[in-house]
């Protein structure tokens, strides 16, 4: 139900994110989705990769600061209102979205939303109660 | 910084009447006016028509008399310390010395040094040479370990302090009639009260505004028709900037003199200040261990700082070997308080790197000059007038994280203002993938540093291994304030 995401600390300066990406490329690890959160001084590169455990080890061994975090993946139809419908589920609850990002999926008619919730278990319960499909890791990594 | 003129009886007796009464200055150098009076403003003092202030008489005492006076005072102060300060006596004995070994002023080189650590080790009162009933004031300055350095003054010490501050202000061309805004901090720091009593004794109108509240500083400067300001040079630059934002152009105010000290600054900063404010900027030097501000001051020639060496005897030494270096050569400034009673400092190592400028000054003062202080030989940093030790930064980082992350300190100067940045390597324990959590950590570090250092600094979180590791002693500080 929960899928693993790699978060990598990056200083906000030219050239910082190419090194980890090269490393993953060399090892044949695919970046399925990513998002870069930035502030004026630093950034966090969040990635869903094809082999999280190996990527984590690899990056750590090479001196990068990484952390594995659990996020939820939700499939939505890629059309106007798709995201709003999902967000409406949490409207009026105390479940907080820490951050989220999205990427297209399937034949381009669907999208996957990646969420980090303050309380992931409550979020899963709520999503399932609303008949929303919370994806397993295999489904997310499938192309 | 502050001073007022008091002449001890011995001083009187040693001088010819012409020096005490006549205020004869050699070479007619006083033709030049020191202060520039702006906007046709006339102060009472300047209406007198002379830039020479009677309080400056001791600055012009003939050299043989000065050396004789210095020797007599040195012998007295060494005897006093020998009799009353156990620490000093044991250090003298270790070297097989007694006060009788002083035969001329040059014998000062035989005496043991005093270091800042000695003040810390004898904290709080171990170096006092006067009983508490004769001590009328205590000041303190920050140290590396959280314990401050305590300094004491008898009534006579305060009079000397005031006298050198009066001479300092007189040297900057100030008189009664000037309105002095004293923006040095009042309190344990010697700057505030030192400058206060000196300016008051000079006969100037003193505004004891202390530091901070910049908007009010500017209002007072404008409304009270202030003619002189005392503060750190970086704070004055901040005032200029803020004044601009408030629509006040300091160039159009009566302000004509700035007495700036408590931190090292540069010639280019002076130029910058003078251009932006149309004042004359004077560098004042002092340290609480010796007396506070008023150890030395620039004259209108702005070519080094005259040391009031009738009270504070200067030497330049090799900081490694302790050997005395000849005039003109750079080294560590060592000062001996020739007339201090409550807390004599014999050959105190200031850690300030400078040189004694050979030859006479065009102003005619006999007092020797030192080059303006550019750097220090220990790891103490002076940021916007505040003493900062790298070890304090470590304390703060430890407080937040429990373990010490790799860090480095970068000092820069932006538009004349010191900027301190602490770069901290993020550790796995500190790392969160939530931006808010990292920003909160950043803020927590800033707060902890503020708590320990007393100033807000910039904290930058950097990647692991991005700070260069050193093989020997870690180089933690990168001072890029060269301009």
**Do residue B463 and residue A7 have CB atoms under 8 angstroms apart?**
no
The Cα of A83 is separated from the nearest Cα of chain B by a number of Å equal to 22
Q: Is B439 in CB contact (< 8 Å) with chain A?
A: yes
pLDDT in tens, B292-348: 999 999 999 999 999 999 999 999 999 889 999 999 999 999 999 999 999 999 999
What pLDDT is stored for residue B120 in this prediction? 87
The Cα of B422 is separated from the nearest Cα of chain A by a number of Å equal to 13
B440 and B471 housed in the same domain: yes
Nearest residue of chain A to residue B426 (CA atoms): A65
B180 and B87 housed in the same domain: yes
CB < 8 Å to B435, chain A: 37, 39, 44, 99
Q: Is A46 in CB contact (< 8 Å) with chain B?
A: yes
What pLDDT is stored for residue B178 in this prediction? 97
Would you say how long chain A is, in residues? 143
pLDDT in tens, B207-218: 999 988 889 999
CB < 8 Å to B466, chain A: 11
CB < 8 Å to A116, chain B: 433-434
What pLDDT is stored for residue B31 in this prediction? 29
pLDDT in tens, B153-190: 999 999 999 999 999 999 999 999 999 999 998 999 89
B364 domain residue, yes or no: yes
B410 and B459 housed in the same domain: yes
Q: Of B378, B413, B433, which residue is a domain's last?
A: B378
Q: What is the mean pLDDT of chain B?
A: 85
Q: Is B460 in CB contact (< 8 Å) with chain A?
A: yes
Distance CA B336, CA B295 (A): 11
Long-range pairs for B15-22: beta carbons < 8 A, 24 or more residues apart: B15/B61, B15/B65, B16/B65, B19/B57, B19/B58, B19/B60, B19/B61, B19/B62, B19/B65, B20/B57
- Give, for A66, the enclosing helix (H) or strand (E): strand A66-77
Would you say how long chain B is, in residues? 483
Asked whether residue A24 carries a pLDDT value surpassing 90, the answer given is yes
- Name every residue whose Cβ is closer than 8 Å to that of residue A98 and which is 6 or more positions away in sequence: A116, A117, A118, B434
Asked whether residue A31 carries a pLDDT value surpassing 60, the answer given is yes
The whole domain housing B424 covers 382-479
By Cβ distance, the residue of B431, B434, B461 closest to A98 is B434
What pLDDT is stored for residue B414 in this prediction? 83
Q: Among A23, A7, A30, A25, which residue's Cα sits nearest to residue A101?
A: A7
Long-range pairs for B442-446: beta carbons < 8 A, 24 or more residues apart: B442/A41, B444/B400, B445/B396, B445/B397, B445/B400
CB B31 within 8 Å of CB B64? no
B2 domain residue, yes or no: no
Question: Residues A95-114: what's their mean pLDDT?
Answer: 88
Cβ neighbour number for residue B291 with a 10 Å cutoff: 31
B448 and B434 housed in the same domain: yes
CB B402 within 8 Å of CB B441? no
Could you tell me the domains of chain A?
2-70 (3.30.2130.10), 72-136 (3.30.2130.10)
Q: How many domains does chain B have?
A: 2
CB < 8 Å to A41, chain B: 442, 460-461
CB A36 within 8 Å of CB A17? yes
- Six-digit token string for B270: 């002076």
**CATH number for B77:** 3.40.50.12780
* Percent share of chain B, pLDDT over 70: 86
**Do residue A39 and residue B439 have CB atoms under 8 angstroms apart?**
yes
- Six-digit token string for A98: 């820490």
B3 domain residue, yes or no: no
**CATH number for B426:** 3.30.300.30
pLDDT in tens, B231-269: 988 788 878 988 998 999 999 999 999 999 987 777 777
B1 domain residue, yes or no: no
The Cα of B433 is separated from the nearest Cα of chain A by a number of Å equal to 6
What pLDDT is stored for residue B383 in this prediction? 84
Q: pLDDT band for A106, please (50, 70, 90 cuts).
A: confident
What pLDDT is stored for residue B207 in this prediction? 98
Q: Is A103 in CB contact (< 8 Å) with chain B?
A: no
The Cα of B424 is separated from the nearest Cα of chain A by a number of Å equal to 11
Q: Of B378, B408, B437, which residue is a domain's last?
A: B378
Question: Residues A109-129: what's their mean pLDDT?
Answer: 92
B274 domain residue, yes or no: yes
B255 and B396 housed in the same domain: no
- Give, for A88, the enclosing helix (H) or strand (E): helix A82-90
How many pairs of residues across A and B have Cβ atoms under 8 Å apart? 49
What pLDDT is stored for residue B1 in this prediction? 35
CB B470 within 8 Å of CB B407? no
B428 domain residue, yes or no: yes
Asked whether residue B35 carries a pLDDT value surpassing 50, the answer given is no
Question: Residues B203-229: what's their mean pLDDT?
Answer: 95
B440 and B354 housed in the same domain: no
B46 and B122 housed in the same domain: yes
- Name every residue whose Cβ is closer than 8 Å to that of residue B41 and which is 6 or more positions away in sequence: B225, B227, B254
Question: Residues B90-112: what's their mean pLDDT?
Answer: 96
Question: Residues A73-87: what's their mean pLDDT?
Answer: 90
Please give the torsion angle defined by the CA atoms of residues B370, B278, B260 and B298, in that order, rounded to the nearest 10 degrees. 20
pLDDT in tens, B260-301: 998 777 777 788 899 999 999 999 999 999 999 999 999 999
pLDDT in tens, B47-82: 333 467 999 999 999 999 999 999 999 999 999 999
B106 and B71 housed in the same domain: yes
Q: Is A70 in CB contact (< 8 Å) with chain B?
A: no
- Name every residue whose Cβ is closer than 8 Å to that of residue B224 and which is 6 or more positions away in sequence: B179, B181, B207
Residues of A (12-41) whose Cβ lies below 8 Å from B: 16, 37, 39, 41
The Cα of A45 is separated from the nearest Cα of chain B by a number of Å equal to 9
**Do residue B463 and residue A39 have CB atoms under 8 angstroms apart?**
no
The Cα of B483 is separated from the nearest Cα of chain A by a number of Å equal to 26
B221 domain residue, yes or no: yes
Question: Residues B445-451: what's their mean pLDDT?
Answer: 90
B266 domain residue, yes or no: yes
B43 and B173 housed in the same domain: yes
Q: What is the DSSP letter of A17?
A: T
* Percent share of chain A, pLDDT over 90: 59
B370 and B397 housed in the same domain: no
CB B255 within 8 Å of CB B227? yes
B45 and B146 housed in the same domain: yes
pLDDT in tens, A50-79: 999 999 999 999 989 999 999 999 988 888
Q: Which of B31-40, B224-233, B467-476 has the lowest mean pLDDT?
A: B31-40
Q: Of B343, B378, B413, which residue is a domain's last?
A: B378
Selected residue with higher pLDDT from B325 and B144: B325
What pLDDT is stored for residue B50 in this prediction? 47
Q: Is B464 in CB contact (< 8 Å) with chain A?
A: yes
B370 and B468 housed in the same domain: no
Q: How far does chain A reach from its first CA to its final CA, in angstroms?
A: 18
CB A56 within 8 Å of CB A26? no
**Do residue A67 and residue B432 have CB atoms under 8 angstroms apart?**
yes
């Amino acid at each position: 139900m929960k899928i693993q995401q790699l978060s990598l600390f990056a200083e906000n300066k030219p050239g910082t994110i190419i090194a980890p990406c090269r490393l993953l490329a060399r090892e044949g690890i695919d970046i399925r989705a990513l998002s870069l959160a930035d502030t004026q001084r630093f950034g966090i590169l969040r990635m869903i990769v094809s082999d999280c455990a190996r990527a984590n080890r690899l990056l750590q061994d090479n001196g990068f600061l990484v952390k594995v975090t659990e996020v939820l993946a939700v499939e939505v139809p890629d059309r106007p209102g798709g995201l709003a419908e999902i967000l409406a589920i949490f409207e009026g609850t105390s479940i907080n979205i820490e951050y989220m990002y999205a990427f297209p999926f399937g034949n381009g008619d669907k999208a996957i939303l990646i969420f980090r919730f303050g309380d992931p278990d409550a979020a899963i319960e709520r999503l399932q109660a609303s008949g929303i499909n919370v994806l397993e890791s295999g489904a997310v990594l499938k192309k | 910084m502050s001073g007022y003129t008091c002449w001890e009886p011995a001083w009187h007796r040693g001088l010819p009447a012409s020096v005490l009464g006549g205020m004869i200055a050699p070479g007619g150098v006083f033709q030049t006016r020191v202060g520039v009076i702006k906007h046709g403003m006339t102060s009472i003092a300047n209406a007198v028509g002379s830039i020479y202030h009677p309080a400056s008489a001791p600055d012009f005492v003939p050299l043989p008399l000065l050396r004789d006076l210095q020797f007599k005072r040195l012998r007295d102060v060494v005897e006093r310390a020998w009799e009353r300060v156990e620490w000093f006596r044991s250090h003298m004995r270790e070297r097989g010395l007694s006060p009788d070994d002083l035969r001329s002023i040059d014998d000062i080189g035989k005496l043991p040094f005093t270091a800042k650590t000695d003040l810390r080790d004898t904290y709080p009162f171990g170096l006092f040479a006067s009983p508490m009933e004769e001590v009328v004031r205590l000041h303190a300055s920050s140290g590396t370990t959280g314990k401050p350095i305590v300094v004491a003054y008898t009534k006579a010490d305060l009079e000397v302090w005031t006298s050198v501050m009066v001479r300092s202000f007189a040297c900057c061309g100030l008189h009664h009639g000037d309105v002095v805004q004293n923006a040095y901090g009042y309190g344990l720091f010697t700057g505030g009260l030192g400058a206060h009593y000196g300016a008051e004794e000079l006969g100037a109108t003193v505004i004891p505004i202390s530091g901070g509240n910049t908007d009010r500083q500017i209002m007072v400067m404008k409304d009270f028709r202030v003619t002189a300001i005392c503060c750190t040079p970086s704070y004055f630059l901040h005032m200029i900037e803020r004044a601009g934002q408030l629509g006040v152009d300091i160039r159009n105010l009566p302000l004509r003199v700035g007495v700036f000290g408590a931190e090292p600054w540069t010639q280019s900063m002076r130029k910058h200040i003078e251009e932006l404010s149309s004042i004359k900027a004077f560098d004042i030097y002092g340290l609480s261990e010796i007396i506070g501000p008023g150890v030395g001051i620039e004259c209108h020639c702005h070519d080094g700082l005259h040391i009031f060496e009738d009270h504070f005897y200067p030497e330049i030494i090799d900081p490694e070997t302790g050997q005395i270096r000849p005039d003109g050569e750079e080294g560590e400034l060592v000062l001996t308080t020739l007339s201090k009673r409550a807390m004599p400092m014999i050959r105190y190592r200031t850690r300030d790197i400078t040189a004694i400028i050979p030859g006479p000054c065009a102003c005619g003062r006999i007092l020797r000059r030192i080059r303006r202080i550019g750097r220090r030989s220990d790891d103490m940093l002076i940021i916007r007038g505040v003493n900062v030790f790298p070890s304090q930064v470590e304390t703060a980082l430890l407080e937040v994280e429990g373990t010490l992350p790799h860090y480095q300190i970068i000092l820069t100067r932006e538009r004349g203002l010191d900027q301190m940045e602490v770069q901290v390597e993020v550790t796995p324990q500190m790392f969160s993938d939530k931006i808010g959590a990292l920003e909160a950590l950043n803020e927590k570090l800033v707060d902890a540093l503020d708590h320990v250092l007393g100033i807000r600094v910039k904290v930058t979180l950097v990647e692991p291994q991005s700070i260069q590791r050193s093989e020997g002693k870690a180089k933690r500080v990168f001072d890029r304030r060269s301009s």
